[in-house]
Amino acid sequence: MSPAQQAMSAPGRVCARCARIKQRCDGDQPCSRCKRLGHVCQPRSPTEKESVGASLPAMALRRPRASRSRGGCLSCKTRKKKCDENRPRCSDCRRLNLPCQWSNPNISATVDSPSSSSPDSHATASPPSDPIHVSDGDPLALSSITPEDDEEFIATLFPHPLPKQNAVLLPLERSPISINPYLRGEEDRSLFNHYIHVVARALSRSHDPDRNPFLVTLLPLAAASDAVTSVILSLSGCHWRRVYPSIWGCALKRQGQALAQVNTLLGRSDRQCIFEACATVLLLCLTELFDGTSKVWKWHLKAASAILKSPAFQNLASTDEWTFCISLFHYLDAMSTISRCKAPLLHNSDSMAELTTSLRRNSVPELERSQSTDAIYGISPALFDFLGMVNLLANHRSKRVDELSEIGFRTAASHLENRIDEWRTDHDQMTELGAETERATTAFEWAIRLRLHQVVEGYDPLHPFVERSITTILDSVQQIPYASRVEGCLLFPLVIAGSSSISMERRMMVKERLMVMENTLGFGHIQYARQLLETVWNGASCATDLNWAAVRYSKFPGVVFV
């Protein structure tokens, strides 16, 4: 017998695990087999009894492959869900904001496993940490979307806390989900919880969590309004649809309910119903915009415009509710002009005379006076006025039929450019904003300037002004970290810079940032914006054929860069 065989056959050199499963052992510490498989390798004494009872200490070091527990909370048992048995409140009940009750709170959870062959095995045991693989359509997918500590996971994407009034540890009966009587089932509660912790944070562009109107304004309203609750659940389902497709059925049902309830609200004249109707219509519009393929948002936007112009809504002026509705409408109205190529709906006319008048916003709150950044805009609200003016000018391109009309067109464009220059001068004299906000402002400003250039001069990417604009936009975007609060302001600058880029390096830079935004923001329309750019790049017959607006109009009519 060779020395190696003698070593492996020696009782003292064979590890306990290899002896128990009757496998050859090289006698090293740890042995090669245990080292390869990641097991705990313990030496086996020659006098050790070959019995199951003697091997229990080694078996205890091995995590059971499968286990069954009867110590879960009553809520998980009722819903037939696996409970992690964290006391006093398990992770699933904490995530869904459900009451977590235990059949016997004085004893620890009892785990029955195949290895439980002695009284000592009935001790307190931790839940198995083996991953549970489920499909997107499986109800268990809801539990696997976020880690065990979902608040820690959400903080990695959105590091800013909830508003102070929501961050206070309230009793369960006073939590936002518990006080809302319009949540009719588990899926409703899951959608509402997803809205509070993820969607509302993704929508807000303010670094101050106490200024997030999607929480501080809408949550109290939802607690008193079935329509607002329904549209919030619809918006949450639209956001969650890509990761958790089976939830969309519930969200779509609540969206239909919200549509039906708006008509009832509009038939009433009291102040609260008018605000509920306006907020519901605006959130319905936002839901359709985030879908990326729907064109129904146009009708919702027109309906919201009619409500805002009604005498009944004017009675809400200067209230927080009025500020929220008018600001959100102004933002959506301005951004949608890129797709409509028409004047903003709040304007009295679509004449070019609008371009030669002052750009005061008579119906939009003047947020510049506080020298702060609004949670809805993220950047200076004045830029959205300029964007609306640029697209109003685009609506008059077809009217350049002679030399006189061409002179008038270029004069209006020059006047608008001067207005942007004046704004930049005033903006530079303001109190210094945060670095991320300033970079997003610069990127958006130059995206407007580039769009104005395209409206007047065309889509030639070799023009010196185009190169200057792209460089400024991409340099600013690159300095903004992923998952920044102002990341939602970057979609329009990225699309217009990417569509005019002819180098592969810049195109990949834009594509990579859009793919990151698909995950950090999570809304579906970002994916279609990226596909729009890929279509422009792949379909251009030559380097100068990069008319992204024509591609958007013909192949992506539902895409709006909100």
Confidence of residue 350 (pLDDT cuts 50, 70, 90): low
pLDDT at position 541: 62
Q: What is the pLDDT of residues 425-468, one digit of tens each?
A: 998 887 677 899 999 999 999 999 999 999 999 999 999 999 99
Give the best-scoring range by mean pLDDT among 25-39, 104-118, 257-271.
Answer: 257-271
CA distance linking residue 276 with residue 262, whole number of Å: 8
In a domain, 98, yes or no: no
Contact 416, 393 (CB under 8 A): yes
CA distance linking residue 299 with residue 281, whole number of Å: 10
Contact 530, 515 (CB under 8 A): yes
- Please give the span between the terminal C-alpha atoms of the chain, in angstroms, as a whole number: 78
Contact 418, 369 (CB under 8 A): no
Which of 540, 355, 400, 548 is CA-nearest to residue 466?
A: 548
Q: Domain containing 252: what range?
A: 177-318
Which of 499, 418, 512, 424 is CA-nearest to residue 454?
A: 499
In a domain, 247, yes or no: yes
In a domain, 79, yes or no: no
CA distances from 212 to 375, 446, 471 (A): 6, 27, 32
Mean pLDDT across the chain, nearest whole number? Answer: 78
379 Cβ contact list (under 8 Å, min separation 6): 205, 373, 437, 440, 441, 444, 486, 489
pLDDT at position 107: 44
pLDDT at position 528: 95
Please give the residue that has the higher pLDDT: either 362 or 180: 180
pLDDT at position 69: 74
238 Cβ contact list (under 8 Å, min separation 6): 248, 251, 287, 290, 291, 523, 524
Contact 409, 417 (CB under 8 A): no
Please give the residue that has the higher pLDDT: either 323 or 148: 323
- Which residue type is seen at 63? R
In a domain, 557, yes or no: no
Confidence of residue 165 (pLDDT cuts 50, 70, 90): very low
Q: Counting beta carbons within 10 angstroms of the beta carbon of residue 543, is it exposed (0 to 12), middle (13 to 18) or buried (19 or more)?
A: exposed
pLDDT at position 172: 34
CA distance linking residue 545 with residue 542, whole number of Å: 5
pLDDT at 531 over 90: yes
pLDDT at position 354: 64
Sign of the Cα pseudo-torsion (281, 285, 286, 288, in order): positive
329 Cβ contact list (under 8 Å, min separation 6): 282, 301, 304, 305, 308, 346
Opening angle at CA 473, ends 497 and 410, nearest 5: 70
pLDDT at 493 over 90: yes
Give the best-scoring range by mean pLDDT among 23-27, 352-356, 404-408.
Answer: 404-408
Contact 450, 497 (CB under 8 A): yes
Average pLDDT over residues 328-347: 88
CA distance linking residue 117 with residue 52, whole number of Å: 9
Q: Which two tokens stand for residue 514?
A: 């859009």
CA distance linking residue 529 with residue 490, whole number of Å: 12
Whole-model pTM? 0.69
pLDDT at position 118: 37
Opening angle at CA 208, ends 494 and 145, nearest 5: 65
CA distance linking residue 11 with residue 19, whole number of Å: 9
Opening angle at CA 137, ends 134 and 139, nearest 5: 70
The strand pair at 68-69 and 111-112 is best described as antiparallel
Average pLDDT over residues 522-532: 95
CA distances from 420 to 189, 343, 407 (A): 46, 18, 20
Which of 510, 511, 500, 505 is CA-nearest to residue 545?
A: 500
Please give the residue that has the higher pLDDT: either 39 or 126: 39
Q: What is the pLDDT of residues 62-101, one digit of tens each?
A: 554 555 677 888 888 877 788 888 887 888 877 776 778 8
pLDDT at position 356: 59
Contact 307, 274 (CB under 8 A): yes
Average pLDDT over residues 125-133: 37
In a domain, 145, yes or no: no
Lowest mean pLDDT among 90-94, 205-209, 294-298, 331-335: 205-209
Q: Which two tokens stand for residue 277?
A: 């109707």
Average pLDDT over residues 132-143: 36
In a domain, 199, yes or no: yes
- Which residue type is seen at 286? L
Domain count, the chain: 1
Q: Which two tokens stand for residue 407?
A: 């002179």
Lowest mean pLDDT among 18-22, 284-288, 422-426: 18-22
pLDDT at position 238: 95
Average pLDDT over residues 352-356: 64
Average pLDDT over residues 145-170: 40
In a domain, 167, yes or no: no
Average pLDDT over residues 534-555: 83
Tallying the residues shown for the chain, one arrives at 562
In a domain, 227, yes or no: yes
CA 92 to chain centre: 21
